[in-house]
Structure 1
Amino acid sequence: MAKIATVMTDMFEDVEYTDPAKAFKDAGHEVVTIGPEKGKDVTGKNKEVTITVDESIADVKPEAFDALFIPGGFSPDMLRADERFVKFAKQFMDDKKPVFSICHGAQLLITAKALEGRKATGFKSIHVDMEYAGADVLDQEVVVCSNQLVTSRQPDDIPAFNREALNLLSG
């Protein structure tokens, strides 16, 4: 089963973390939360969920994980200001490991300059940013690119997002 690095900090979109994380765990995968500080509690923007960060970004390496999950909300925008998260995400893309990004999660991939030439989607307000980053942006509930990158737009797309992420992990 896969070990999935999940990068997040405060203000993540609650359901965009909880539903995929549950689907991954229910399928037997390990979900490891990675934030700025190990042991720190981070709270979703809707204040429905608080998660204790498993590992600090300072203490992890991409090669220890099989896939990357980036929940949306305001969290990805905060994470992309920290070069350690940017490099971490870019390494998964460069290594062609599975990357699952929903809603505003693509902001981290934009900053990592990892979307050029890729088909992807994200929340409507970042479509232009994704286009400037070189992505072929599609307005669909889920987009799978090169059997590596799975992206979705918003919470309503979570069932399709989970289905395609799990398909990729099982393949």
Structure 2
Amino acid sequence: MSKLAVLITDMFEDSEYVKPAEAFKKAGHELVHVGLESGATVKGKQQTPVKIDKTPQEVKVADFDALFIPGGYSPDKLRVDERVVQFVKEFVESGKPVFLICHAPQLLITAQVLKGRKVTGWKSIIQDIKNAGAEFSDQEVVEDGNLISSRSPADLPAFIRACSKRLK
């Protein structure tokens, strides 16, 4: 079974975390919640609590098989922390699967790893994606190499199927 790093902080989009997390756990995968403060409890926009297991400096890309970044405001809050940005950059460059939904591409934009890639995301970040040198594709799931991206909670069934196929 796979071990996933879940990059998350306050104000994540609850369904974009809960539904994939439930599916991954049900399939036997392990989730490690990576955030700004070990032991802290962060909450989604609808108050779903998530306990942070580790900070970016306490983990290595080699510890994980995949990275999952839920959307909402969480990616925007995380992208100002250099430790988080460096972890994302190293993860994308490792070639291991990276699962993005909604606003999650914001972290990859800040990490400067989207140039020449094809992704999708929430409509308010379309121009940001293009400005980062990526190709935006308005589809429920876009797969480009190790990146799997979706636009919104409406895309969750297809997103979960695509991500699950990449996990062993």
TM-score greater than 0.5 by the shorter chain? yes
Q: What stretches of structure 1 move > 3 A for 4+ residues in a row?
A: none
Matched, 1:88 2:93: no
Query: Counterpart amino acid of 2:29?
Result: H
User: Is 1:51 aligned to 2:55, yes or no?
Assistant: no
1:37 alignment partner AA: E
Deviation digits for residues 72-107 of structure 1 (CA, Å, limit 9, x no counterpart): 000000100001010101111111110000000110
| 2:166 alignment counterpart | 168
Cα distance, 1:45 vs structure 2? 1.1
1:61 aligned onto 2:52: no
Give me the TM-score of the superposition, normalised by structure 1.
0.96
Cα distance in 1 for residues equivalent to 2:60 and 2:88 = 10
Which amino acid is 1:159 matched to? P
Report the Cα distance in structure 1 between the residues aligned to 2:117 and 2:88, rounded to whole angstroms: 15
| Matched residue type, 2:98 | V
Contact 1:36 1:58 in 2 (8 A): no
Q: What secondary structure is seen at the aligned counterpart in 2 of 1:104?
A: coil
Gaps of 5+ in 1: none
SS of 1:130's partner is helix
Correspondences of 1:64-75 after superposition (within 5 Å): 64-75=63-74
Instruction: Give the Cα separation in 1 of the matches to 2:26 and 2:134.
Output: 32
CA contact (8 A) 1:37 1:57 kept: no
Mapping for residues 26-41 of structure 1, pairs under 5 Å? 26-41=26-41
Q: Write the distance in 1 (CA, Å) between the matches of 2:28 and 2:144.
A: 24
Give unmatched runs, 5+ long, in structure 2: none
Partner of 1:3: 3
**Equivalent position SS for 1:55:** coil
Equivalent residue of 2:113, what SS? coil
Q: How does 1:131-142 map to 2 (within 5 A)?
A: 131-142=130-141
What amino acid is the match of 2:39?
G
Per-residue displacement from partner, 1:33-67 (whole Å, max 9, x unpaired)?
011111100000122x1111111222111111111
Are the aligned partners of 1:77 and 1:107 in contact in 2 as well (CA < 8 Å)? Answer: yes
Per the alignment, residue 157 of structure 1 pairs with 155
